[in-house]
Amino acid sequence: MTIRKFALGAAAGIAALTAVAMPAQAQRDPAYAAARSAGQVGEKTDGYLGIVVNATPQLQRLVNDINIKRRAVYARKAQENNATLEEYALSAGCQAIARTVAGEKYQAPDGSWQTRTSAPPQRDPRCP
């Protein structure tokens, strides 16, 4: 399955993840919202949350918890869409990076951490 076909089929799942899981996570855990706005964490190209600064045990626990939840959603949605976990996670990463707002951190295709400006973010060339 190509990434382009997969992205179209997975759009509803990604939208559901974004609309439900992440805002709910941010509402449940003010530490997530604070870490995101402070640039301590950012969206990675592989669909998971990454730590941008030196990791503290508390920050590592927060990121691990969010990534475990993301992986569970990705696994379920990948199976529903007859895709691999990696394909689904990449597509979700493309969408998450596209949704970042000015001041938030994201991972560029070269692996470096960037701060989002008003310009479009750098995205993986495999993104739809």
Q: CB of 52 within 8 A of CB of 41?
A: yes
First CA to last CA distance, the chain: 13
Compute CA distances 12 → 26, 112, 122, whole Å.
21, 29, 23
Instruction: Look at residue 49 and give its three-state secondary structure.
Output: strand
pLDDT at 10 over 60: no
Domain boundaries, the chain: 3-115
Q: Note the pLDDT tens digit of each residue in 58-117.
A: 999 999 999 999 999 999 999 999 999 999 999 999 999 999 999 999 999 999 999 999
Q: pLDDT value at position 128?
A: 81
pLDDT of residue 28: 66
Residue 99: helix, strand or coil by DSSP? coil
Close Cβ partners of 64 (under 8 Å, ≥ 6 residues apart) = none
